[in-house]
Amino acid sequence: MKGSDMTVTQLNPGQDPTDAKDRVIEHRRLLIGGVWAEPHSTGLISVFSANTEALIGSVPDPDAVDIDAAVRAARAAFDDPTGWSNWEPAARAAGMRRLADEIDKRSAEIARWVSGQNGVPISVTAASEAVLPGQLLRLYADRISERPGEEIRESSAGGRTLLRRLPVGVVAGIVPWNVPNILGALQYAPALAAGCTVVLKPPAETPLDAILVGEAILEADLPAGVLNIVPGGRDAGAHLVAHPEVDRVSFTGSTATGRQIGEVCGRLLRPVTVEAGGKSAAIVLDDANLDLGSVGQALAPALFGMNGQLCSVTSRVLAPRSRYDEVVETIVELARSLTVGKSLLSTTHVGPLVSERQRSRVEGYIATGVEQGARLVFGGGRPPQQPAGWFVEPTVFADVDSSMTIAREEIFGPVVTVTPYTDDEDAIRLANDSEYGLAGTVWTTDDDRGLAVARRLVTGSAGINHYTYDLNSPTTMIKASGVGLKMGPEALDSYWRYQSIYL
């Protein structure tokens, strides 16, 4: 790795051999200005295995001086009159495709490192974290030529107007731990395509895979400072968001942190995209197919995807009273069929949670559900066959009133609630009775009926009999789920500013 100053030591005696690369990774530099730079800070972020709780790596814990250096590098790259922001679209697209190729070369390793850190099963990360960043880079490389940098429009006053699309400037991208590579690429891919430069802050919980992305950036020979990587926690993020040389912020994470970032950006009149939490509903209509042999492959990820550590998971199930017991039994059967195991095993459906703190949070919600009178029908504890690692059993609650805490707050773990409804109108009302507005699903054998229900959901996206993001189509964040949009060619607009010159 080019000047990365990374050392690797053998695993501690007794450490689980399925963990990330069978080694402890010690990385001592930050990717700033096109090189692995020695940090100013002497602090370290320790990284632990979700599977074993053992130390698996460490990276620098940057301070304000390191963040300043990264922003300066991005600013210098953006302000360079011959630099990235002034390259022809075809040249930027070529650089992005080189980066996509280099990330693809590391795809298997990226999937393994992510799974070892956050507990998401390797079968999931191999099909998502490993491949979608490259797809996103190529998608936006293709999109650049579809929107000209300048065009002439007829003026309403009878003359002509020169419309210019210009990159907004230096972008601060703050990435969460649950899907770090995809959500990082959803920020930097359209930003780079638009001509912006980026300071990307990977999360403290899962920073190791960002080393591989940094290596790919250097091998792709992007201009120095165009894409910088500085991992860190809350303090590093706060300094980056408020930095006077940052022109735009893109954040994915919790609603509470999103609100804080929104307040800072509002005060600074700085544009911001916030993708925050969700409490999405899965509406099971009374004609739904409940045969797990035919719908289980779509239902499992929609309800328990990524161990429930996904803001768009539709874990709030709304079931018709006429088939209520059948729906509950189906979901319990689904939960029972899921293999709980170490995230790096190909047979695992539900892995551990990212940290002890996250497991305690999820267990607290389970206890609250029981206290408030919900009926615990499956799971609720720690799997006895997993003595180490931050595991929680797939958990199903029935008879959940929509006013209960577990029906209203994002749990971010493998916990599904089932609430009865009387008719379609009642189901739609319950689905929309949430402070969030991120996603939703409708389960039915009548596509037209499903579409009619989905149209009335106050969400940025919805799926009929499945939930799978479409990278070519935008989705917006609504209510407490955030502000702005992501994906699709429309995301480019988030990273451009417009200038009209009246001719």
Which residues are marked as active site?
Answer: 275, 311
The CA distances from residue 238 to 32, 141, 234, 433, in Å, are 18, 31, 6, 32
Between CA 333 and CA 329 the distance in angstroms is 6
- Cβ count within 10 A of residue 499: 11
Tell me the β-bridge partners of 360.
none
Q: Which of 274, 237, 277, 312 is nearest to 494 (CA)?
A: 274
Helix (H, G, I), strand (E, B) or coil at 167: strand
Q: Where does residue 232 fall: left (phi above 0), alpha (psi -120 to 50 degrees), or beta otherwise?
A: left
Per the CB < 8 A criterion, the answer to whether 382 and 403 are in contact is: no
Q: Which of 338, 283, 352, 342 is nearest to 315 (CA)?
A: 283
Task: Give start and end residues of each alpha helix (H) in 29-85.
Answer: 64-79
Between CA 73 and CA 205 the distance in angstroms is 25
Between CA 462 and CA 440 the distance in angstroms is 5
Between CA 435 and CA 132 the distance in angstroms is 30
Tally of residues, the chain: 503
Q: Which of 193, 215, 189 is nearest to 103 (CA)?
A: 215
Tell me the β-bridge partners of 283.
318, 442
